[in-house]
Amino acid sequence: MEKSVTVRAPVNIAVIKYWGKSDENQIFPINSSLSATLNMDQLCTTTTIASSPKFTQDSIVLNGKPDNIQSKRLQNCLSTIKSLALKHQTVPQSFISQKILITTSNNFPTAAGLASSASGFAALTFALAKLYNLDVNSKTTDLSQIARIGSGSACRSLSGGFVQWHKPNASLGVVSNATQVFEHTHWPELIILICIVNDKQKETSSTVGMRRSTDTSDLIVLRDLVTQKRIERITRAIKEKDLPAFAEVTMKDSNQFHAVCLDSYPPIKYMNETSWEVIKMVHKYNDSKNAVKVGYTFDAGPNAVLFLERKDFPDFLKCLLWFFPENNNNNKVAKEKTVYVQGGEKQLVEQVRKEQLQEVKMEGMKRQEGVLRSILVTSLGRGPEEVLVSQDGKGSKL
């Protein structure tokens, strides 16, 4: 029996950060976390899994290149899904024995420094579940727990909107799943900007960094308590669409995560001077408006993710483009190919870009050309979905 499914899964960005495992094999986090699922129109992983009696071995092709099918994390996901299919007899046993070919790619360059393992393992898990006819909405088949053993934060990419990943709770047994807190349609005014920093420094991988922090940081012991309170606070802020409260908790939690990294030994540093310039600019912008209009968060890398509401977007974008203009040293050919501000809100962006840039004065801020590679405009989005594959190889929603 030949069968092929194609799915796409979103990237998520934590506003209450996950950092540190209480169990390395199970990937149990030491604290619960909360994330925003990003719109797949801008960022997603597309994964096709084909099963055929003709295949003589399992294989995987990642962004056009053969990859390691024996990876422990991948095999964990695959065997868990297969046992579920066997248990619930959702497909014939012979189909489960057939070899598969996994083809996966991101619609964003890996070089952009955006974590792709979350969307990657979410797509893999979702595609496998579809391939083997598992009920993806059933509570007994909690896909988030399967994605989690692939890559911790992947569990948060299995739902849209705002998603909470729960740390294991002794009273509920050894369960650590992710659940949707609000749908993506709850806060349509929320705009998410990803400022991609021009920097190619080699970074400490999350896995290595987390282990080091868990082993050496004194301050990490407070994270569980602090994040519990912050998840309550930010859930209320999201419910009320209270951007100032949402942004403030988001900024504080990003800073605390990086503080824990710095408290590790040897210290871990993910933000660079450009990241700090964005932080400074956001605080100065908020000060100038006498209100928190924009919040930032940084993952295990220098890229800034900013949250703001549509009504403030044109004004803030002008300010961002003033202080972080694109590099004009590009030759003309390259310039025409580059779109500095990419993604959604095209009309608003075009309007702002047509205007002459106005000088913005902020104490201590200097214009820095070319320190950002691009600015990606996106929003909240839905969870993974099955897609049709068109002739050009690109997926479109079923």
Provide the 3-class DSSP secondary structure of residue 80. Answer: helix
Q: Does 256 bind its own copies (CB under 8 A)?
A: yes
Count CB-CB contacts under 10 A for residue 93. Answer: 9
Minimum distance from residue 268 beta carbon to its own copies (Å): 10
Q: Does 330 bind its own copies (CB under 8 A)?
A: no
> Under a CB-based contact definition with an 8 Å cutoff, are residues 206 and 113 in contact?
no
Q: Does 269 bind its own copies (CB under 8 A)?
A: yes
Termini Cα distance of the chain: 22
Question: What is the DSSP pairing of strand 21-23 with strand 28-29?
Answer: antiparallel
What is the DSSP secondary structure assignment for residue 66, as one 8-state letter? E
Q: Locate 70 and state its tokens.
A: 């024996």
Task: Tell me whether residue 92 or residue 276 sits nearer to its own copies (CB atom).
Answer: 276
| Contacts (Cβ under 8 Å, ≥6 apart) of 262 | 268, 269
Task: State the number of binding residues for its own copies (CB under 8 A).
Answer: 27
Q: Does 21 bind its own copies (CB under 8 A)?
A: no
Task: Tell me whether residue 262 or residue 348 sits nearer to its own copies (CB atom).
Answer: 262
Minimum distance from residue 318 beta carbon to its own copies (Å): 22
Q: Which among 150, 139, 152, 23 is positioned nearest to 79, based on CA atoms?
A: 150
| Contacts (Cβ under 8 Å, ≥6 apart) of 328 | 335, 369, 370
**Window of 29-37, 258-266, 309-317, 332-340 that interacts with its own copies by CB under 8 A:** 258-266
Q: Does 272 bind its own copies (CB under 8 A)?
A: yes
Task: Tell me whether residue 89 or residue 201 sits nearer to its own copies (CB atom).
Answer: 201
What is the DSSP secondary structure assignment for residue 173, as one 8-state letter? B
Answer for which of 8, 166, 233, 258 binds its own copies (CB under 8 A) is 258
**Window of 14-22, 63-71, 162-170, 275-283 that interacts with its own copies by CB under 8 A:** 275-283
**Window of 259-267, 322-330, 354-362, 383-391 that interacts with its own copies by CB under 8 A:** 259-267
Q: Locate 114 and state its tokens.
A: 């955006």
Q: Does 370 bind its own copies (CB under 8 A)?
A: no
Minimum distance from residue 254 beta carbon to its own copies (Å): 9
Minimum distance from residue 221 beta carbon to its own copies (Å): 8
Q: Does 34 bind its own copies (CB under 8 A)?
A: no
Q: Rule CB under 8 A: which of 222-241 touch its own copies?
A: 222, 226
> Under a CB-based contact definition with an 8 Å cutoff, are residues 41 and 50 in contact?
no
Minimum distance from residue 291 beta carbon to its own copies (Å): 15
Task: Tell me whether residue 131 or residue 268 sits nearer to its own copies (CB atom).
Answer: 268
Provide the 3-class DSSP secondary structure of residue 277. Answer: helix
Residue keyed to tokens 């202080």? 323
Torsion of CA 120, 269, 320, 34, to 10 degrees: 50
Integer CA distances (angstroms), 333 to 111, 247, 304, 373, in order: 21, 39, 28, 17
Q: Does 184 bind its own copies (CB under 8 A)?
A: no
Question: What is the DSSP pairing of strand 33-37 with strand 59-62?
Answer: unpaired
Task: Tell me whether residue 132 or residue 257 sits nearer to its own copies (CB atom).
Answer: 257
d(CA 36, CA 18): 13
Q: Does 259 bind its own copies (CB under 8 A)?
A: yes
In the complex, which residues of this chain contact its own copies (CB under 8 A)? 202, 218-219, 221-222, 226, 248, 251-252, 255-256, 258-260, 262-267, 269, 272-273, 276, 279, 283, 364
